Chains A and B, each alone.
Chain A
């Protein structure tokens, strides 16, 4: 398999006050050779002053919410960092940690990485880490849409303030119902093994529970593949799906076996999907987290297209 030499971009997201900065400080103290990009939302930038990391390896994007106004800045920062790394103008780094503002939909960072070919040469999406204040039930209810988007996008959920929370099992169940493949780690004071966060794969690596429907029309389900599929069919299926309901695909990810013998990683956020990339064998299934797109609709589309190809 061709080695993937790109630098992973780890996204750390979560509500204001959920403990993102505490977690980020733990990560950078353990992994000093990280480039940290902090997104601040507000007139006075403060977050990057709270990051205990070298000035050279810390970049603040102070002009707004990363998900809606700063895509250009993030692209420029990442491309510029790769160029300056190659020239030796800045110290080397072997991962990027992007802290989004509390209100951001982290899926947009993934979209940026999938969509921009210049970026995709040097970077790949690393795990999306969502920090959830386990005790803050009210916060999740009052901003339910953003909370769901952040949990839907996550590969890892860190349940902060776990030591101060009753009913932790209930919170974990709530999260797994929304995102069945997510890894859930209770933590107090940001005490999480950095390796667990940074080395979690972005693909699916565990068995999936059955489909579930949630408040706000969020649907979570799995499309399984019983046999290897033609690459062209998979590509057309994704293109059709994006064309018809792209806006409602909060996150799609998983591994699909191809007839060529390869296994490919599929990852997408709304209208934007990464190109199919070879990976080691994984469970042959795609996890869908959607807004009002149901399992039977996706299955019907897949079976119709697969039937046409076979005939």
Chain B
């Protein structure tokens, strides 16, 4: 394995179902117990809960199945004892497409409370959701009332009120003008066919520091800051895009409020570096209407990783979730970079970010690309780094020594 200032405390293959998505959320229970909830990347498993109270001895406490193989959960969030799990189907019209709410007050026995149905003739349901206040789900999800001009553009930004968890209620949505039938705006100019991944929502972050703002990754459309002070009518505040000339798939927008910065990640989606460069960008956001790119996080040696196997490049960031048990930092960023592992950066000087730690596990058994493909990362308030492999490796628990 490769490492710098990170040490493996434990590895758990998750009972042979180690292909993990991009949902990682920590639940704090009475008596100091900590449970990490993980969404799987694909069928047959839905989600897995791991007791990580002792980070050196993680234990699976529950693992659930999906109802069929033409779907995936991919994303989840836990707020208090309530968990929201995204459901995305492989083809328009399939069900269940939307999200499900669970009572997880007893982690061993998750109890379904309700289901928000977003299925429809032009819907693949929900790919990703953000749920941190116990009352509102912000998500990238199709709306059956909309018909995308291009089938790749089906998932929009949606707001669902779950203050009554038994009755989730859609309260607002926003999509890039020009992407839906009936829009006045012309369709957006698409990227080259090789890179055309769609103009649709991905991460939908909303923080208590600025509850009237949504920080939205919009794949080939770049990133948006939305004004959601009127939840029924989100409005565009600003937009920043690197593509073209870059190759699209803007994924996460992480605001660093005290610094006046945004960290914006792309996602690498093609193997063997076919869509390189996929980077993490730092934006000067002191004026949210005039976003300026000031640097990118330094990449590991590109020639050493590009064709090592599988994907190489940026993906998820630790998103400073405003939840108990989560680590929050405005000067250190952590992200996953598929075959280049999990990496930490000191951004004290946003013009000169520095790599300060990394861990690249050896290829796990059953790795289809012959490399690890680290997919997501979560850091808890003890400084323990949890990261997951996309295909086979399951959960890696790391200590960061900086």
Contact = CB atoms under 8 A, between A and B. Distances in A.
Interface of A: 2-5, 7, 33, 83, 85-89, 91-92, 94
B1 interface: yes
Given A86-B300, A87-B301, A88-B304, A5 B346 contact: yes
B402 interface: yes
Does more than half of chain A's interface fall in helix, strand or loop, or is it mixed?
Answer: loop
20 contacts: A2-B346, A3-B356, A5-B4, A5-B5, A5-B354, A7-B4, A83-B301, A86-B2, A86-B300, A87-B300, A88-B2, A88-B360, A89-B304, A91-B1, A92-B2, A92-B3, A94-B4, A94-B5, A94-B7, A94-B401
B348 A2 contact: yes
B357 interface: yes
Contacts of A89: 304
Lowest 3 A-B CB distances belong to which pairs? A5-B356, A92-B3, A87-B304
B332 interface: yes
B4 A3 contact: no
Interface of B: 1-5, 7, 300-301, 304-305, 308, 331-332, 346, 348, 354-357, 360, 401-402
Quick one: which of A2, A83, A88 has the most chain B CB within 10 A?
Answer: A88
A91 B3 CA distance: 8
A3 B1 contact: no
Given A85-B4, A88-B2, A92-B3, A5 B301 contact: no
Given A4-B402, A83-B301, 7 more contacts: A3-B346, A5-B356, A86-B2, A86-B304, A87-B301, A91-B1, A91-B2
Nearest to A82: B4
Nearest to B300: A86
Contact of A3 (B3, B7, B332): B332
Contacts of B2: 85-86, 88, 91-92
Contacts of B348: 2
Contacts of B308: 88
A123 to B, nearest CB: 12
Contacts of A7: 4
A80 B259 CA distance: 36
Contacts of B300: 86-87
Nearest to A3: B402
A223 B379 CA distance: 44
A86 B301 contact: yes
A87 B300 CA distance: 7
Given A87-B301, A87-B304, A92-B1, A5 B402 contact: yes
Quick one: which of A7, A83, A89, A92 has the most chain B CB within 10 A?
Answer: A92
A86 B340 CA distance: 10
Contacts of A88: 2, 304-305, 308, 360
Contacts of A3: 332, 346, 356, 402
Nearest to B7: A94
A59 to B, nearest CB: 18
A91 B8 CA distance: 14
Nearest to B2: A88
Nearest to B308: A88
B58 to A, nearest CB: 22
Contacts of A85: 2, 4
Contacts of B305: 88
Nearest to A93: B3
A56 to B, nearest CB: 13
A89 B3 CA distance: 12
Nearest to B331: A2
A3 B383 CA distance: 14
Contacts of A33: 3
Contacts of B346: 2-3, 5
B298 to A, nearest CB: 10
Contacts of A2: 331, 346, 348
Nearest to B332: A3
A85 B1 CA distance: 10
B297 to A, nearest CB: 14
B351 to A, nearest CB: 14
